């Protein structure tokens, strides 16, 4: 059995207010918790070395955690009636540091290219989020990259600013020219890389790496020495390299699972071995080629790693890197391991990175995907409305999200009734039934029912006469291969007319730019998301545009359909604006 386990034959668990209060010897637990529920182990209880020790995620959780089963069935968690408790490695009990590499490894995502201004925008957001280290880029890459890193270094952020380098003097000089705090020096250590990429022997690469490390240290840089492809390296040579760098004075080392071949079990053992062998903090850097990056990073922390490398939204080459939002939330939720990251800002930063990089986040992505807290099936919505924990592992507000009920063919009557109540309406039973039936009919036609469509159904059934408050009067768009796409728009709002113009990277973008200016002027409504689908095939396809808008208090979805994508986009925007204004009008009655 793992040496971190401490076993006692005669043990018990005390349950207080549905929480595990203590684990220990039966006579001690019985005396201290005489008025509370005591559960005797059938065979053995494992006593944690620390009261707040962390555990394997699949086994009994730590002291103070809520039980997810009834008291009588708590032993069902445990194979053979044995309660397993274990503590994490010594480094992980210190403050866990977060190195975000969105601006370096994340930018290596095919299709992503960031301007210096965009990099600075993301860096500020990461600093506000609370990451400890920002890997701002690779200074040797280009003049534009150096400009971006200099911008970030001079921005007076709280985070440590780091540049990626190889074990090359010119790379280190480039980093020095950017006035960074530290470098992330990456050196290949696997025989595969040494033979085919570097064409060097182990002795040669070791000498090159140590000479470069010494050069960086002599010039006042903080050095994080990283072993590339560490998970496929000879264990003895890997320990030798990392220990030698630490012996020179490298302040941190990192072992990279470059092609994502670790498993959680192996990751924990791997990093546990390194933290015992190397006398400086060890970082974990995992790639997601097999979808294991989050689990492997968490396991590495349990093994003793004291720094995690992550990217926002899991950006990175091939399958990406360990996603910041998933890793920090998992560590907090399952092991009570905290970082400096402000969980409530995760969604906000995810949205920014998605917008700036142009890399869409999958709707089903954990934590930050649009469907992460969305409920459509009737059984689920009923459960969530009765008690959110039935189908939500955490409150959405914890990560800056809001619960969303989706209306379509799977919707249940409880969701419809809840939404009508939220609208402040008091429909009859028959009206609820008719609204429910109309939603089902639309859903059976293959459509998600947007907020504006739901409102139209409700108004129709309940006899409300919807008034279009904002009307499009005129739209002009000019575009061409030698012309900057430009749009002008005239909108009527009551007895007033508003005229705006906008430019964009294409005619749709130009039209939306002009519409956004008008909309923000008349109703303080902002565009959050834009999505387009072709309903029919061919160059004359009818398109459906769905937008998400917010007025700061509410979020609505709206659809516009037309054979012209520009008109479809404008219709969607105005439908959403009218929906929000109509709700305000009804609330004011």
Domain shared by 446 and 481, yes or no: no
> Are 583 and 553 contacting, i.e. CB atoms less than 8 angstroms apart?
no
Task: Give the pLDDT of residue 134.
Answer: 98
**Range of the structural domain that residue 46 is part of:** 7-81
Same domain, 109 and 167: yes
Residue of 532 and 395 predicted with greater confidence:
395
With b meaning 16 or more CB within 10 Å and e meaning fewer, what string describes 429-455?
Answer: eebbebbbebbbebbeeebebbbbbbb
Are 64 and 35 within one domain? yes
> Which stretch of 81-90, 215-224, 277-286, 394-403 has the lowest confidence by average pLDDT?
81-90
Looking at the fold, whether 423 and 556 belong to one and the same domain comes out as no
Q: Which residue has the higher pLDDT, 471 or 405?
A: 471
Length of the chain equals 589
Torsional class of 113: left (φ above 0), alpha (ψ -120 to 50), beta (otherwise)? beta
587 compared with 295, residue with greater pLDDT:
295
Give the number of other Cβ atoms within 10 Å of residue 65's Cβ.
Answer: 15
Give the Cα separation of 589 and 136 in Å (integer). 53
Residue 107 within any structural domain of the chain: yes
Enclosing H/E stretch for 455? helix 451-462
CA 146/CA 177 separation, integer angstroms: 8
**324 and 458 within one domain:** no
Domain final residue pick, 400, 432, 462: 462
The answer to whether the Cα torsion of 521, 523, 529, 533 is positive or negative is negative
How many domains in the chain?
4
Q: What is the mean pLDDT of residues 370-396?
A: 83
Q: Tokens 């701002």 sit at which residue?
A: 136
Domain boundary among 442, 462, 482: 462
Question: Distance between CA atoms of 570 and 573, rounded to whole angstroms?
Answer: 5
3-state secondary structure of 247: helix
Residue 99's closest CA among 317, 282, 369? 282
Residue 308 neighbours by CB distance under 10 Å: 27
pLDDT at site 88:
44
Question: Cα(187)–Cα(179) distance, rounded to whole angstroms?
Answer: 22
Does 100 lie in the same domain as 77? no
449 strand-pairing partners: 407
424 lies in some domain: yes
Nearest by Cα to 294 from 259, 266, 331: 331
Q: According to the model, what pLDDT value does residue 468 have? A: 79
Output the CA torsion sign for 556, 561, 565, 571.
Answer: negative
Asked which of 57, 81, 105 is the last residue of a domain, the reply is 81
Same domain assignment for residues 384 and 445: yes
User: What is the pLDDT, as a whole number, of residue 535?
Assistant: 59
What percentage of the chain carries pLDDT values higher than 90? Answer: 50
pLDDT of residue 462: 78
Inform me whether the pLDDT recorded for 280 exceeds 60.
Answer: yes
Instruction: Name the least confident of 42-51, 258-267, 474-483, 525-534.
Output: 42-51
Same domain, yes or no: 450 and 478: no
Q: What is the pLDDT of residue 63?
A: 37
The pLDDT of residue 588 is 60
Highest mean pLDDT among 43-52, 145-154, 478-487: 145-154
**Which residues are CB-contacts of 395 (< 8 A; sequence separation ≥ 6)?**
388
Task: Determine contact, residues 548/351, Cβ cutoff 8 Å.
Answer: no
Six-digit token pair at 473?
A: 């009067």
Question: What pLDDT, on the 0 to 100 scale, is given for residue 250?
Answer: 97
Question: Tokens for 507?
Answer: 């005619």
Give the pLDDT confidence score for residue 74 in this predicted structure: 31
Helix (H, G, I), strand (E, B) or coil at 386: helix
User: Which CATH number is 320's domain given?
Assistant: 3.20.20.70
Q: Are residues 335 and 454 in the same domain?
A: no
Instruction: Please report where in the chains the tokens 């705006």 appear, as a residue.
Output: 500
Between 67 and 366, the more confident residue is 366
Pick from 307, 393, 392, 319: nearest CA to 110: 319
What pLDDT is stored for residue 28 in this prediction? 73
pLDDT computed for residue 486 by the predictor: 95
Residue 273 belongs to a domain: yes
> What's the CA gap between 297 and 178, in Å, rounded?
30
Model pLDDT, residue 3: 34
Tell me the average pLDDT across 141-165. 97
Which of 244-253, 279-288, 313-322, 432-441 shows the lowest mean pLDDT across its residues?
432-441
DSSP conformational letter for 139 = T
Asked whether residue 513 falls in the same domain as residue 454, the answer is: no
Asked whether the predicted pLDDT for residue 459 surpasses 80, the reply is no
Instruction: Name the residue among 57, 86, 61, 71 with its Cα closest to residue 15.
Output: 71
Please tell me whether residues 527 and 439 are part of one structural domain: no
Could you give the CA distance from residue 290 to residue 310 in angstroms, rounded to a whole number?
Answer: 16
Residue written as tokens 């403050």?
95
* Res 154 pLDDT > 80: yes
Q: What is the largest CA-CA distance in the chain?
A: 86
Q: Is residue 204 part of a domain?
A: yes
Range with lowest mean pLDDT among 8-22, 61-75, 348-362, 445-459: 61-75
Task: Output the domain CATH number for residue 568.
Answer: 3.30.160.270
- The reported pLDDT for the residue numbered 520 is 74
Q: What is the mean pLDDT of residues 114-126?
A: 97
Residue 216 lies in a domain: yes
Q: Which range among 332-341, 347-356, 404-413 shows the weakest confidence by mean pLDDT?
A: 404-413
Nearest to 151 by CA among 117, 103, 184: 117
CA 411, CA 413: separation in Å to the nearest integer? 7
Lowest mean pLDDT among 12-21, 220-229, 332-341, 460-469: 12-21
Q: Which residue has the higher pLDDT, 40 or 247?
A: 247
> Is a pLDDT exceeding 90 seen at residue 397?
yes
β-sheet bridge partners, residue 501: 488
Q: What angle do CA 398, 581, 569 make, to 5 degrees?
A: 85
> In this predicted structure, which of 11-15, 395-399, 408-412, 435-439 has the lowest mean pLDDT?
11-15
Sign of CA dihedral 134, 137, 139, 142: negative
Q: 192-223 pLDDT, tens per residue? A: 999 999 999 999 999 999 999 999 999 999 99
Q: Is residue 1 part of a domain?
A: no
Report whether pLDDT(119) > 80. yes
Read off the pLDDT of residues 35-88 as tens digits, 9 standing for 90 and up: 555 554 443 333 333 222 233 222 333 333 333 322 222 322 232 333 333 344
Please indicate, yes or no, if residue 86 is contained in any of the structural domains: no
In this prediction, residue 70 carries a pLDDT of 28
Nearest Cα neighbor of 301 from 33, 89, 488 is 89
Closest of 462, 467, 460, 457 to residue 426, by C-alpha:
462
* Arithmetic mean of pLDDT over the chain: 82
Q: Which residues contact 384 (CB under 8 A, 6 or more apart)?
A: 375, 390, 391, 392, 403
Please check whether residue 231 lies inside any domain of the structure.
Answer: yes
Cα gap 163→473, rounded to integer Å: 53
pLDDT digits (tens, 9 = 90+) for 495-514: 888 899 999 888 888 888 88
Q: Of 375, 354, 325, which Cα lies nearest the Cα of 111?
A: 354
List pLDDT tens digits, range 10-37: 556 666 654 556 666 667 767 776 655 5
Q: Are residues 441 and 566 in the same domain?
A: no
The contacts of residue 152 (CB under 8 Å, 6+ apart) are: 103, 119, 120, 123, 134, 136, 161
For residue 201, give both structure tokens.
Answer: 């022997």
If pLDDT is split at 50, 70 and 90, which confidence band does 530 have? confident
Q: Is the pLDDT of residue 526 over 70?
A: yes
């Amino acid at each position: 059995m793992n040496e971190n386990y401490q076993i006692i034959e005669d043990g018990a668990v005390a349950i207080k207010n549905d929480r595990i209060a203590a684990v220990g010897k039966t006579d001690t637990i019985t005396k201290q918790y005489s008025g509370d529920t005591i559960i005797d182990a059938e065979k053995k209880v494992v006593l944690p070395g620390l009261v707040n020790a962390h555990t394997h995620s699949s086994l009994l959780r730590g002291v103070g955690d809520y039980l997810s089963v009834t008291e009588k069935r708590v032993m069902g968690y445990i194979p053979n009636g044995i309660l397993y408790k274990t503590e994490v490695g010594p480094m992980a009990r210190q403050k866990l540091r977060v190195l975000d590499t969105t601006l370096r490894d994340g930018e290596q995502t095919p299709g992503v290219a960031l301007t210096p201004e965009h990099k600075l925008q993301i860096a500020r957001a990461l600093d506000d989020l609370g990451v400890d280290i920002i890997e701002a880029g690779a200074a040797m890459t280009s003049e534009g990259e150096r400009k971006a890193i200099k911008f970030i270094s001079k921005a007076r952020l709280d985070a440590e600013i780091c540049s990626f380098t190889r074990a090359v003097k010119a790379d280190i000089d480039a980093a020095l020219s950017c006035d960074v705090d530290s470098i992330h020096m990456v050196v290949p250590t696997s025989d595969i890389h040494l033979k085919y990429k570097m064409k060097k022997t182990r002795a040669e690469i070791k000498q090159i790496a140590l000479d470069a490390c010494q050069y960086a240290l002599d010039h006042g840089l903080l050095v994080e020495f990283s072993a590339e492809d560490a998970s496929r390296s000879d264990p003895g040579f890997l320990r030798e390299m990392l220990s030698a760098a630490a012996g020179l004075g490298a302040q941190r080392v990192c072992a990279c699972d470059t092609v994502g071949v670790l498993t959680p079990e192996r990751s924990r053992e791997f990093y546990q071995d390194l933290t015992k062998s190397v006398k400086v903090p060890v970082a974990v850097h995992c790639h997601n080629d097999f979808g294991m990056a989050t689990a492997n990073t968490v396991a590495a922390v349990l093994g003793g790693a004291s720094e995690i490398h992550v990217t926002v939204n899991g950006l990175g080459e091939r399958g990406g890197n360990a996603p910041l939002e998933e890793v920090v939330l998992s560590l907090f939720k399952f092991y009570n391991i905290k970082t400096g990251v402000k969980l409530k800002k995760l969604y906000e930063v995810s949205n920014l990175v998605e917008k700036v990089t142009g890399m869409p986040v999958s709707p089903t992505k954990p934590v930050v995907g649009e469907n992460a807290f969305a409920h459509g099936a009737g059984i689920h919505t009923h459960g969530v409305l009765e008690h959110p924990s039935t189908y939500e592992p955490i409150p959405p507000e914890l990560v800056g999200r809001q619960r969303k009920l989706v209306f379509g063919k799977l919707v249940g009557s409880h969701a419809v009734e809840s939404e009508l109540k939220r609208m402040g309406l008091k429909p009859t039973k028959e009206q609820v039934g008719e609204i429910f039936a109309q939603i089902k009919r639309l859903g059976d036609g293959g459509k998600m029912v947007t907020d504006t469509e739901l409102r139209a159904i409700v108004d129709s059934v309940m006899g409300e006469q919807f008034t279009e408050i904002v009307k499009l009067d005129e739209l002009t768009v000019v575009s061409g291969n030698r012309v900057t796409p430009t749009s002008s728009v005239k909108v009527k709002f009551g007895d007033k007319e508003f005229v705006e113009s906008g430019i964009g990277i294409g005619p749709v973008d130009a039209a939306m730019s002009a519409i956004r200016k008008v909309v923000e002027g008349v109703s303080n409504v902002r565009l959050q998301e834009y999505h387009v689908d072709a309903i029919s095939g061919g160059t004359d396809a009818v398109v459906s545009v769905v937008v998400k808008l917010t007025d700061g208090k509410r979020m609505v979805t709206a659809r516009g359909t037309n054979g012209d994508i520009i008109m479809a986009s404008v219709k969607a925007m105005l439908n959403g604006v009218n929906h929000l204004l109509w709700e305000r009008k009804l609330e004011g009655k």
